[in-house]
């Protein structure tokens, strides 16, 4: 019996030592954020916010119709010179192209005939007045001569107005000039081309593009989601890093039979003139869903094991890995359906480091 006691006592001592070691191990492995970890992390207080959503639309850049001019030729003839190319900036009154035309000579003949008619009618009036003074004509004859002179002067004024409007010059040359300042956005004329007098297409299109339109297509299923004054962000393939902000200012309440889509217009500033007509554009429209959910930075959400997690921070010794259900993500904001409460603090930067430290 004495021998039994001798064996039991060491065993109990060894068992007690093991329990103490286990306690030491547990204490040693308890997680605590170091000063270095704290300095690398950023924190955000979760809060209840209006849910914002976004709609991605596609379209193209167009010039403002109110700042667009179509340039035509009023005469037919041979194009002998073109002074501008597509994309050039032109000033009002600048000569765009020169056309040699027999029709210009006809205008000049009309002007000469009108001047001659005025001179003849002035002489006829003077004769009528002299004859009336000598009792050889009546007052009615004088009035008739005055009316003919007025008609002749009106015709001369008309042809002079035509000369002024179209900048006609003497001879057979017609200069096509710019009616406004802007960029050449369309050109339908070539050197040595024979223009027909009945040509209905514009030779040039000139547009001011310091402000442009983004015309976007809206699918039928999304029509109810867009309204006037919704915020919009426009990007292009040419300048993907440039974001142009504007608002929907017009909804075209008609469905295009070819695309089966409705168009909306976003008016955007183009001060750097990088946006060009016909550029493809992506338009992101953002709107409220009329509901509130907890919002946190999207960077605070960690996706692992087919689930979403958030690191909830209480203090450096108390960090919790919390499973959440994400309702949606818009830009850099994630809306949480459940799993976190209003006012709780989350790790919004480098939370993955803490997640790995706690869960590996």
- Hey, what CATH topology would domain 71-206 get? OB fold (Dihydrolipoamide Acetyltransferase, E2P) (2.40.50)
User: Which residue in 40, 39, 46 sits closest to 314, CA to CA?
Assistant: 46
Task: Say what the pLDDT of residue 10 is.
Answer: 45
Using 50, 70 and 90 to split pLDDT, how confident is the model at 301?
A: very high
pLDDT tens-digit readout, 276-287: 999 999 999 988
- pLDDT reading at 150 higher than 90: yes
Cα–Cα distance between 215 and 224 in angstroms, integer?
Answer: 18
Q: What is the pLDDT of residue 65?
A: 87
> 4 falls in which pLDDT band (50, 70, 90)?
very low
Q: Decide if 322 contacts 310 (C-beta within 8 A).
A: yes
Give the model's confidence band at 28: pLDDT under 50 very low, under 70 low, under 90 confident, else very high.
Answer: very low
Q: Give the span between the Cα atoms of 85 and 187, in whole angstroms.
A: 7
- Same topology, domains 34-51+291-359 and 71-206? Answer is no
For residue 24, which phi and psi values (nearest 5 degrees)? -65, -40
CATH 3.40.1360.10 fits 34-51+291-359, yes or no: no
Residue 19 is predicted with a pLDDT of: 47
| Locus of tokens 């006592």 | 9
Where are the domains positioned within the chain? 34-51+291-359, 55-65+209-290, 71-206
Q: Given 2.40.30.170, 2.90.10.10, 3.40.50.300, 3.40.50.150, which CATH number is that of 55-65+209-290? A: 2.40.30.170
What mean pLDDT, rounded, does the chain reach?
A: 86
DSSP string, 245-261: EEEEEEEEEEE-TTT-E
3-state secondary structure of 264: strand
Each residue of 67-81: pLDDT tens digit? Answer: 999 998 888 889 999
Task: Determine which helix (DSSP H) or strand (DSSP E) holds 159, and give its type and residue range.
Answer: helix 139-166
DSSP letter (8 states) at residue 290: E
User: What pLDDT is stored for residue 57 in this prediction?
Assistant: 95
* pLDDT band, very low/low/confident/very high, at 309 (cuts 50, 70, 90): very high
Q: Above pLDDT 70, what percent of the chain?
A: 91
Higher pLDDT, 166 or 300: 300
């Amino acid at each position: 019996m004495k021998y039994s006691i001798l064996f039991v006592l060491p065993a109990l001592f060894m068992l007690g030592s093991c329990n103490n070691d286990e306690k030491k191990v547990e204490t040693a492995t308890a997680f605590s954020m170091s000063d270095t970890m704290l300095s690398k992390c950023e924190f955000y207080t979760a809060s209840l916010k209006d849910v914002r959503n976004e709609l991605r639309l596609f379209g193209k850049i167009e010039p403002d119709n109110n700042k667009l001019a179509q340039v035509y030729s009023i005469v037919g003839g041979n194009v002998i010179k073109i002074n501008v190319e597509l994309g050039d900036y032109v000033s009002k009154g600048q000569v765009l192209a020169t056309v040699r035309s027999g029709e210009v000579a006809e205008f000049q003949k009309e002007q000469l005939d009108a001047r001659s008619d005025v001179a003849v009618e002035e002489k006829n009036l003077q004769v009528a007045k002299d004859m009336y003074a000598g009792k050889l004509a009546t007052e009615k004859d004088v009035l008739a001569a005055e009316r003919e002179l007025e008609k002749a002067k009106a015709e001369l004024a008309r042809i002079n107005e035509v000369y002024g409007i179209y900048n006609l010059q003497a001879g057979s040359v017609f200069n096509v000039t710019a009616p406004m300042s802007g960029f050449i956005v369309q050109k339908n004329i070539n050197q040595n081309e024979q223009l027909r007098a009945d040509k209905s297409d514009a030779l040039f299109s000139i547009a001011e593009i310091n402000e442009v339109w983004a015309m976007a297509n809206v699918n039928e299923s999304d029509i109810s989601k867009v309204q006037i004054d919704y915020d919009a962000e426009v990007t292009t393939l040419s300048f993907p890093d440039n974001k142009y902000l504007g608002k929907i200012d017009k909804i075209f309440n008609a469905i295009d039979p070819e695309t089966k889509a409705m168009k909306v217009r976003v008016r955007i500033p183009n001060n750097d003139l990088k946006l060009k007509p016909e550029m493809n554009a992506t338009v992101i429209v953002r709107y409220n869903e009329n509901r509130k959910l907890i919002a946190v930075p999207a960077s605070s959400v960690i996706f692992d094991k087919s689930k979403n997690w958030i690191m909830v921070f209480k203090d450096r010794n108390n960090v919790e890995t919390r499973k959440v259900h994400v309702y949606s993500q818009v830009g850099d904001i994630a809306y949480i359906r459940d799993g976190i409460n209003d006012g709780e603090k989350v790790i919004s930067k480098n939370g993955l480091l803490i997640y790995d430290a706690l869960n590996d």
